[in-house]
Chains A and B, each alone.
Chain A
């Protein structure tokens, strides 16, 4: 089994290469099927590795394979090697599994797109990169995957590149991520300099010898990298814009897999974080809690169906960081897995809705879709109760674990988590009620059904921009089986994934025992009685139900006055955070860059040209000395000889 590890990344890579050269010839839908098969077989390979690991003792659950030396320079030596251990296999299972479903979905979703095959080329490359990120046995292979998924994210966000907005969103994602990559790279340099290796095995065994300062720098810099990739404060701004990409991309890359890479990285490096100064975990927890809260407040006032989910993703990732900062790595991974199921489900569900609504993304134009899109609605609602944290769906269990450990860290963090839970239940309830229930707003022309939206679009002056459906009546329909089958499968897991780690008995904490060999260094265990634990869970559950009830009251009972009060413009505008950054970059930032360019043109190059002019003018004058009279030259010679003589004599004397 050990020697077959390479198959897991190799299969999607083969798919990518094959489709790159022959995809056009295969055409639609064959190219899509081939891509799906490549990823599906990668999933099967992962399952095989998983069972192989399960059959071993807990201490021996690690398979490694080295393919070849990648960067061998002096003492700096990095291999292309893989490490399959409980952490990486857990992640790979849901990465390849969900990716297979989303590939299948995309065959239906991308139907008729002129760049159908290209989409799958990118998608396979993405899966390959993501697998490298997770399966790499050293920091640099993880970095390779890390950058690879970033590049694919860029390609796929700007997939419909004719639109300026998509192109800008892709660029923004890449550049923002690069700020995080700065941290990642610096962390790599510090790690190698201190430990002489980038291998995870070596780092883990040597980390106790790390000086606190070094460990602190490494941990903080890794966290900066994680903030970029996993869209945390202050670098989260790219993720909401990333929704410009096709919806399967949003589900796969910008919800389920790539954006969780930051949590994976920190979990992987938990022995180093354990050695760092205590302010680093505090920082991680606080940033996580703040991001969770902030993004949740923004989500309650969004009207774009995907924007709600995007901010929700940012918020849920914040939860995971809160867990990591609290030392609850198992809870973080647990929530990562459950979130991958229900968020991928809801993104795909929203894609199904957008598909049925003829590209309309504004929720104000929806309503009452339950009647016409049964499968989409039911599965979406399962996702909704899962994320809201309703017993016994997946989110209830994983969120509960996080809140419990946050309480252990600090009650303030716990309160932030609770408020976020309330908001989450509210905004997701709002979305479900606006989209699937209430009065349909699509059966009439836009101007008649939603005059406010019609006026907004009139004012923007763009004729049917991205995410805008026709202004005539729309006839929504349920999507085909390629799209609904993934929804059903994901809904099943969104409902049941809590079984992975049931907290009641020690032997039902499967995930905790499974991950124990990897996270035992940094893991903080909460030692509280069952009464306490149950009350914490009950408080969260009560708040979740409250949130849903408020949403019901406001959006089904039509309390428009309340809605206006809740949907504050400051929330809708995302606390003006993004626009402030844009203003800064476009204003002082640009001015500073312009100043440098001016300096280069005027001072540096000016000096060069100045010297040139000086020499030309000077030699023009110098030419006058060339009189052509021998006596003048003779005089010059004489002076020169005298000067030389004086020089030589003075040298000899001293």
Chain B
């Protein structure tokens, strides 16, 4: 640890305490402690695990507090050389793009632990979860390609064991599919990581440092850069998942235990969309501009296609899984619209989707606790015996549908506003997804909650106090993010603007200017030309 203390970089924001390393290592320590505990007292294991998760969450809030709002670059950086040649280092840093994802991770893990306990073997369950948290945090914070790759891969292991160990009937199939499919994607990325570093070195010293590689554009040939981008893109596309790489997701969600689903949808999918920003746009700006039409198209297909598939599902968890495909399609659309609104909206939507979908899966878990089924045909009329559960479900559902005033709307709307600037017609098609979201969620709600309950459904108990306690912060966040998203955007925007400028500087792309209130209005095409001329000087 002392080495880490010394290693903190002497940048503008000198962090004396390596808080980023601490936030990654706390859950690791927690996992080890839980693993070493006695098997006979599972409730103590849970308490210790929750304690570590809460401590990690507190650290993420400390990061939020230390974060300098207007600073666009990496902050609170830690650097410790791991291997000299090739240069690989334990390099962590947080910026406006990763900040809220780190906080999201910090919030969701303790909630998932408290809200969705396992039914057997508590100890390994919590140990795996803590390890998973460390992996997620590490991936969001890594400033080194190799380090990122390791964290990106490491998360597969705990998730594999969580699904296969605590899942439902078909868990082995789902876990294997999940593992192999994402590994398949990662294999390409590994090639990409190594090739990028070595090609960039041009025979000189090899480094995996993200900033060095990203800021030194032009060394790798354009066509090679595009191939390298694709090798990363496949891994991220599988992770997000983008159409047509999505079919592992419904299976994984249906079979995963509730906590697994919460984390999978809430945090892990964002590794893909985050990856596109950090290792797509930042590392390969030119290739990202080149690939943008294709990526946007996949995003829009996902929005419509995911929604249609969701409508046809008969299993509550599969509906939400497919709805994730649609929602993450919005994020892909925003990211590859390459406008600051699209990007910022995308980052916001990652957090918003994490909260709402996490909450939806928790609620599914609550329903399963009562009825032992996710099958819509067996559910019905739950609102009568369980009005509070129904009310909470309604709020979360409305957030997911995109009701203004709740978080889902803010993300989606800002994304669409941004993507409209560069991708007018794709955006118009994507808005259709807004109609479809109402269709499948309201249909599901009607099946589960409306009608006269019969048999087992009539005997369902209402939201318990502890369940309410778990849901309360999520509902609070949903409303806060919907009503007052300014603190979020204030921190996201500088980093995003910097990224857009980075893309502009390294490609022929020019972000369309938005007419300011009261300014002389210049038609779109003319504005483009003006901007191009300016760019030429």
Chain A residues in the interface with B (C-beta under 8 A): 68-77, 140, 143-144, 147-148, 151, 154-155, 158, 161-164, 166-168, 171, 174-175, 178-179, 181-182, 185-186, 188-190, 192-197, 199, 202, 206, 209, 211, 593-594, 596-597, 600, 604-605, 608-609, 612
Contacts and interface: CB of A to CB of B under 8 A. Distances in A.
B305 interface: yes
A186 B438 contact: no
B446 interface: yes
Given A72-B489, A74-B497, A175-B438, A600 B309 contact: yes
Nearest to A77: B517
A148 B515 CA distance: 29
B344 A161 contact: no
A194 B521 contact: yes
B365 interface: no
Given A71-B413, A171-B446, A597-B313, 14 more contacts: A69-B486, A76-B417, A148-B403, A158-B450, A167-B450, A174-B438, A175-B438, A185-B431, A188-B417, A189-B427, A196-B516, A596-B305, A604-B247, A608-B177
A179 B180 CA distance: 40
Contacts, number: 163
Nearest to A596: B308
A1 B220 CA distance: 64
B384 A181 contact: no
6 tightest A-B contacts by CB? Answer: A196-B515, A75-B514, A167-B450, A597-B312, A605-B247, A144-B404
Nearest to A172: B442
Interface in B34-61: none
A189 B416 contact: yes
Interface in B305-319: 305, 308-309, 311-313
Contacts of B515: 75, 194-197
A73 B516 CA distance: 12
Given A161-B449, A162-B451, A194-B521, A597 B493 contact: no
Nearest to B339: A74
A149 to B, nearest CB: 11
A193 B524 contact: yes
Contact of A162 (B381, B404, B428, B497): B381
A166 B409 CA distance: 27
A167 B446 contact: yes
Contact of A151 (B345, B398, B449): B398
B404 A148 contact: yes
A192 B413 CA distance: 12
Given A189-B420, A605-B247, A171 B442 contact: yes
Contacts of B446: 158, 167-168, 171
B7 interface: no
A600 B450 contact: no
A140 B517 CA distance: 15
B403 A147 contact: yes
22 contacts: A68-B486, A73-B344, A74-B493, A75-B514, A76-B341, A151-B403, A154-B442, A161-B451, A162-B450, A162-B452, A175-B438, A175-B439, A181-B435, A182-B434, A185-B431, A186-B428, A195-B521, A196-B514, A600-B247, A608-B247, A608-B248, A612-B177
Contacts of B428: 186, 189
Nearest to B438: A178
Contacts of B516: 75, 196
Interface in B517-533: 517-519, 521, 523-524
Given A73-B345, A74-B497, A202 B434 contact: no
A176 to B, nearest CB: 10
A538 to B, nearest CB: 47
A612 B173 CA distance: 11
B22 interface: no
Contact of A68 (B177, B180, B246, B484): B484
B480 interface: no
Contact of A196 (B383, B442, B452, B521): B521
B14 to A, nearest CB: 30
A143 B428 CA distance: 17
A393 B313 CA distance: 55
B451 A74 contact: no
Interface string B323-366: 00000000000000001110011000000000000000000000
B410 A71 contact: yes
B489 A73 contact: yes
A528 B397 CA distance: 55
A604 B451 contact: no
Contacts of A594: 312
A192 B514 CA distance: 8
Contact of B341 (A74, A199, A600): A74
Contact of A74 (B340, B431, B438): B340
Nearest to A74: B340
Given A168-B446, A596-B308, A196 B485 contact: no
B518 A164 contact: no
Interface in B273-308: 305, 308
Contacts of A600: 247, 305, 309
A151 B397 CA distance: 11
B20 interface: no
A193 B312 contact: no
B436 to A, nearest CB: 9
Nearest to B184: A611
Contact of A596 (B309, B414, B418, B451): B309
Contacts of A609: 177
B451 A167 contact: yes
Contacts of A74: 339-341, 344, 493, 497, 514
A192 B416 CA distance: 12
A164 B451 contact: yes
Interface in B430-473: 431-432, 434-435, 438-439, 442-443, 446, 449-452
Contact of B434 (A163, A181, A196): A181
A229 B411 CA distance: 24
A242 to B, nearest CB: 15
B434 A206 contact: no
A272 to B, nearest CB: 14
B438 A143 contact: no
Nearest to B517: A197
Nearest to B306: A600
Contact of A593 (B311, B450, B484): B311
B244 interface: yes
B521 A209 contact: yes
B308 A196 contact: no
B244 to A, nearest CB: 5
A72 B493 CA distance: 9
B67 interface: no
B523 to A, nearest CB: 7
A171 to B, nearest CB: 5
A505 B483 CA distance: 48
A198 to B, nearest CB: 9
Contacts of A154: 442
Contact of B486 (A72, A171, A181): A72
B513 interface: yes
A612 B428 CA distance: 37
Contacts of A68: 484, 486
A209 B520 CA distance: 9
B432 A182 contact: yes
B431 A73 contact: no
A164 B447 CA distance: 10
A593 B247 CA distance: 17
B73 interface: no
Contacts of B404: 140, 143-144, 147-148
Contacts of B414: 71, 73, 76
Contacts of B427: 189
Contacts of A70: 483-486
A92 B432 CA distance: 32
Nearest to A615: B180
A199 B451 contact: no
B72 to A, nearest CB: 13
Contacts of A189: 416-417, 420, 427-428
